Amino acid sequence: MAGFIKKHYPKCRIYFLGRNYTKDIIALSEHVDEFINYDEIKTFTRQRQIEFLKFIKADVIVHVFPLKEIAQLASAAGISLRVGTTNRLYHWFTCNKLIRLSRKNSVLHESQLNFKLLNFLNVHTEIALNEIQSYYGFNRIPELEQQYYSLIDKNKFNVILHPKSKGSAREWGLDNFSKLILSLPKTKYNIFISGTTEDGKLMQDFIKGHPDAINLTGKLTLSQFIAFINHCDGLVAASTGPLHIAASLGKKAIGLFSPRRPIHPGRWMPIGKNAHYIVYDEQCERCHKKEDCNCISQINPSQIIALLEQK
């Protein structure tokens, strides 16, 4: 969205108001001029929060991820144009530009839905999926520290496997990732296992069972993990942040998905020139009825390998 705005208004200044954990990702984009840490603002008194927003002298605020508290602050700070959606009741009282937008039953991708919030610019916002990647502007990649760079094998395909999702998505399962590791020729692939420190504890037996795979769980900061992904060739994961980071960096990003709404790939597929997704059964009746279903576990490792080796 920032890249799209800069395309039409190159002289504007864009602030990104976000949680602290997003800072290293936002820092990648050349289109964002300044990051504002909402976790820090939340520690202020309400009056100081209002004064802070007034000090920025923003002309517009777009509530992409709507929060009632932020909408109220923006209104109290007197930001001239406050853009929100019609389906948030509090936006009717805090915003002065309402966009009719319903995500629940839409056939559009999440990123395409977000672009609709820019209708107030009076420009064409029907953006094709293959066009979105041109707006990332991820040209500020941090330098990878030597201790991690030395793990990269330039003579092999360096692939990151990210098995866990912290509950944000349906997971393929450790048994399946184990089968995938055993199916990847060690002479051709350099395999890494990534995740948080907590993920590492949950995957102890899995990690010990594959001593040839390099364990990265809990070892890299987000900034260094982004830099590491940038030096690798591919990443395999469910619908998680690392999948989308890899896709945005142009890596072979393979997402494993359930067809169930609203977590289906039509809404959350990775977008990038080398991004792919796999669903076991697009027409799974149980998923479409929103019944408990684990059909994602039936995705065959051979499907992933075929995409990894696809030129």
How many Å apart are CA 295 and CA 281, to the nearest integer? 7
- pLDDT score, position 70: 98
- pLDDT of residue 54 exceeding 80, the answer is yes
246-259 mean pLDDT: 97
How does residue 107 score in pLDDT terms, banded at 50, 70 and 90? Answer: confident
Can you give the pTM of this predicted structure?
0.94
Q: Which two tokens stand for residue 120?
A: 């107030």
How does residue 262 score in pLDDT terms, banded at 50, 70 and 90? Answer: confident
Helix H or strand E segment including 252: strand 252-257
Fold of the domain built from segment(s) 2-135: Rossmann fold (3.40.50)
Contact 190, 159 (CB under 8 A): yes
45: left (phi over 0), alpha (psi -120 to 50) or beta: beta
- pLDDT of residue 28 exceeding 80, the answer is yes
Mean pLDDT of the chain: 96
- pLDDT score, position 2: 97
Q: Please indicate whether the domains covering 2-135 and 146-308 agree at the CATH topology level.
A: yes
How many Å apart are CA 5 and CA 234, to the nearest integer? 30
Contact 50, 22 (CB under 8 A): no
Q: Quote the radius of gyration of the chain (alpha carbons, Å).
A: 21
pLDDT per position as a tens digit, 232-246: 999 999 999 999 999
- pLDDT score, position 148: 98
How does residue 106 score in pLDDT terms, banded at 50, 70 and 90? Answer: confident
How many Å apart are CA 39 and CA 50, to the nearest integer? 15
Q: In what order do the strands lie in the sheet with 214-215?
A: 214-215, 189-193, 157-162, 234-237, 252-257, 275-279
- pLDDT score, position 104: 77
- pLDDT of residue 196 exceeding 80, the answer is yes
Domain ranges of the chain: 2-135, 146-308
Interior angle at CA 170, CA 168 and CA 176, nearest 5:
130
pLDDT per position as a tens digit, 77-91: 999 999 999 999 999
- pLDDT score, position 100: 92
- pLDDT score, position 292: 87
- pLDDT of residue 290 exceeding 90, the answer is no
Classify domain 146-308 at the CATH class level.
alpha beta
Q: Which residues on neighbouring strands pair with residue 281, listed in sequence order?
A: none
Q: What is the rounded (10 degree) CA torsion for 218, 223, 224, 226?
A: 100
173-200 mean pLDDT: 97
Task: Report which of residues 107 and 225 the model is more confident about.
Answer: 225
How does residue 105 score in pLDDT terms, banded at 50, 70 and 90? Answer: confident
- pLDDT score, position 168: 82
Q: Which residues on neighbouring strands pair with residue 159, listed in sequence order?
A: 191, 234
- pLDDT of residue 40 exceeding 80, the answer is yes
How many Å apart are CA 204 and CA 144, to the nearest integer? 26
105-114 mean pLDDT: 91
- pLDDT score, position 271: 97
CA-based nearest residue to 157, from 231, 262, 219: 231
Percent of the chain with pLDDT over 70: 100
Percent of the chain with pLDDT over 90: 92
